[in-house]
Amino acid sequence: MGSISDNKSGGGYSYRVSKSALNMVSKNLSIDWADKGIIILNMHPGWVQTDMGGTKAPLSKKISVRGMIDVIDKVKEHDSGKFINYDGAELPW
């Protein structure tokens, strides 16, 4: 919902703006803290079966979390500032 280039449905103004702002903060931090060796990522957990995601969501919490942990375990400095899906795919800003 925070991606500008992947917005095909509109709506959700407040939610989308807050996510976009988080993306910018994360990107700025990734630049400002690079010389300290700190890696900053934004991660998308996928559409998860939660109260918010609903019962039609395709992912269980266990699969989403396992995927994000796997991504975090493999992250390198050149990944800092990216938006990464739970399955490791880079997502558009």
Residue 53 CA to residue 51 CA, distance in Å, equals 6
Domain range list for the chain = 13-85
Mean pLDDT of 39-64: 96
CA angle 73, 76, 59 (to 5 degrees): 45
Structure tokens of 86?
A: 């739970």
Question: What integer pLDDT is reported at residue 2 of this predicted model?
Answer: 82
Say whether pLDDT at 63 is over 90. Answer: yes
DSSP state of 87: T
Predicted confidence band of residue 1 (pLDDT cuts 50, 70, 90): confident
Instruction: Give tens-digit pLDDT for 11-50.
Output: 999 999 999 999 999 999 999 999 999 999 999 999 999 9
Question: What integer pLDDT is reported at residue 4 of this predicted model?
Answer: 83
Structure tokens of 85?
A: 């899906």
Strands (DSSP E) along the chain, which ranges? 42-44, 83-85
Residue 79 CA to residue 81 CA, distance in Å, equals 6
Predicted confidence band of residue 5 (pLDDT cuts 50, 70, 90): confident
Structure tokens of 62?
A: 């266990």
